Amino acid sequence: MSARSNILSKKINWEQLYAAEQPIFKPYGQMESLETLHKIVGNNASAAIVYGSKGFIRWYYPISELGRIREDGKRLLDKESTKELIEDIKETVRSFWEISAQMRSYLRTGSIHDAAFIELFSNWEEILYYVFAYFRTTQEHPAFYAIKKMQEIIAEHFPSEDEQAEIFIDLVTPTEPDITIRERTDWIAVIQNSTDERIKEHLLKYSYLVTNIDSEDAALQVIKKLAATGSYNELKSQTEETKKRLIDLKERQQKLFTKIDSKQLEFLANLIQNFAFLRFDLKVCWAGVHYYLFPLFSTISQSTGLPIRDIMMFWTTKEMKTFFNTREFPKEQEMRKRDEFYFLQLKNKHIEFNSGPAARELKDSVLGTFDNSANELKGNVACRGVVEGRVQVINFDDLRLIRETAERAREPFVLVAGMTNPNMTPLFKKALAIITDEGGMTCHAAIISRELNIPCIVGTRSATQLLKDNDLVHVDAEKGLVKILNRES
């Protein structure tokens, strides 16, 4: 069977863009932002599909839309407008955290039904949509022509394809400490004197650490446990090694820029590095905002009698605003249907929302069913190497489950995920290889695999559907090919 059996369709060819554990307000908000912010680079898709079950979602575009998104990305080749775009993204991230903190602070004394809070929440929702839109700008398809031009310039100076690939990876990898390195540096200070107050301050600054954990107390306990088990010397050594690696990388980049002597190459490399850096900051916005919203979720839970998890995972921001204004809310039965299965489709500038068995039937009628008879899949090589091992599929972001999975693993495994995030660090330590559905050369999985020298293939589109726990696979991260040697019965 073809390695591209991930394309599902009866009438239109759809391609999965990414898969992840996400509350429903995130994919719903992403669809809303496609409608309202289509003038932002990379946001010109007119159709999309998301379906989810138990909080794990898959996002699809029609293949025909991907070409349009790439064409729209040609606007990134203009230096002045791109410079302005990067500053706009930085300001959006700053504003997002500022207003998130304001909402959290307001609810210490105010009510979610106050006009002032409703206005604050509406402003936060608007900025959230910009976060989603700019995240799409920094993804692989809008950057297609910028990356292609970089590769052409490199090829003019280096005939070897292997050498071209290595130089390209060097030039697009950020040299500044990203948020995970900054967190690690700050954490070293925390574990030397880990009081509750210091841990809470750390959580507010790096709230992505407790993604999808459904209570503030549980989040605090998770981080306290990390503080109790953390090794100061090991963390300090790792941080110093990382900083040295970034310094060495920056020196290699400067030598390459001098040798190639192309201002256009420097501009494009800087653009892709900025996108890699900012994409992470944007991703952290929605990954970490739950910690700021716990007072909101708790207040709604007390008023409705619904569990915090239901509100956090299965309410849209529109439904939250409706509750603020009218006290009407989705009932328990609807929550159970959404937990089971839901299907969102953007078409004709309208979002169709279905849940329960009817949603599953609609998904099958539109997308068809996934062909899992293929024995291989293909992606992009992010870090080279060849290994064989058993698969461990990760379809959750909860740090508690991640740590449990890592501790339970007796042997190293091939880590398979929709996308990776910093919370998966305990898993990286036991990974023979990393395979993801999503991503290009500057996604988190690509960067972390090169840092740890773990063979990595990204952008397979369907690894989390085709591969199952304990499947034996051959990972050829020289050719970007994954072969199933033996399926777990």
**Could you list the mean pLDDT of each consecutive 10-residue stretch along the chain, which spans 489 residues?**
39 83 96 95 96 96 94 97 97 98 96 98 98 96 96 96 93 92 91 90 94 91 84 85 94 97 97 94 93 96 95 97 97 96 95 96 91 92 96 94 93 96 91 95 90 94 95 96 91
| Contact of 85 with 137, CB cutoff 8 Å | yes
Whose CA is closest to 282, among 144, 132, 141?
132
Amino acid at 362: L
Whose CA is closest to 200, among 179, 181, 227?
227
Q: Which residues pair with 390 in a beta bridge?
A: 472
| Contact of 314 with 24, CB cutoff 8 Å | yes
How many CA atoms within 13 Å lie on the side-chain side of 325?
10
Instruction: For the chain, state the CA radius of gyration.
Output: 22
| Contact of 24 with 120, CB cutoff 8 Å | no
CB atoms within 10 A of CB 101: 12
| Contact of 215 with 294, CB cutoff 8 Å | yes
DSSP alpha helix (H) spans, 261-388:
263-304, 308-314, 317-326, 332-340, 357-367
Residue-level pLDDT at 439 = 87
How many CA atoms within 13 Å lie on the side-chain side of 475?
34
Amino acid at 29: G
Whose CA is closest to 51, among 283, 446, 265, 340?
340
Kindly report whether the global pTM for this prediction surpasses the value 0.95.
no
Domain ranges in the chain are 179-257, 376-486
- The token pair at 4 is 């591209």
Whose CA is closest to 400, among 213, 207, 259, 208?
213
- The token pair at 351 is 């979002």
Distance between the two ends of the chain, CA-based, in angstroms? Answer: 20
DSSP, residue by residue, 415-462 = EEESS--GGGHHHHTTEEEEEESS--TTSHHHHHHHHHT--EEE--S-
Whose CA is closest to 451, among 257, 282, 244?
244
Cα dihedral sign, 188-189-190-191 = positive
Domain 376-486: give its CATH architecture: 3-Layer(bba) Sandwich (3.50)
CA distances from 11 to 6, 19, 31, 274, 361 (A): 15, 22, 22, 38, 16
**Phi–psi pair at 349, nearest 5 degrees:** 60, 30
Residue-level pLDDT at 422 = 87
- The token pair at 283 is 């991703």
CA distances from 289 to 37, 403, 488 (A): 21, 21, 38
Max CA pair span of the chain: 67
Quote the DSSP letter at residue 173.
S
Residue-level pLDDT at 7 = 41
Quote the DSSP letter at residue 110.
S
Q: Using DSSP, state whether 203 is helix, strand or coil.
A: helix
CA distances from 53 to 21, 336, 355, 391 (A): 9, 11, 10, 21
Residue-level pLDDT at 364 = 93
| Contact of 12 with 467, CB cutoff 8 Å | no
| Residue in the block written with tokens 């944007």 | 282
Number of helices (H), then strands (E), belonging to the chain: the values are 19, 13
Distance (Å, rounded) from C-alpha 242 to C-alpha 255?
20
Amino acid at 184: R
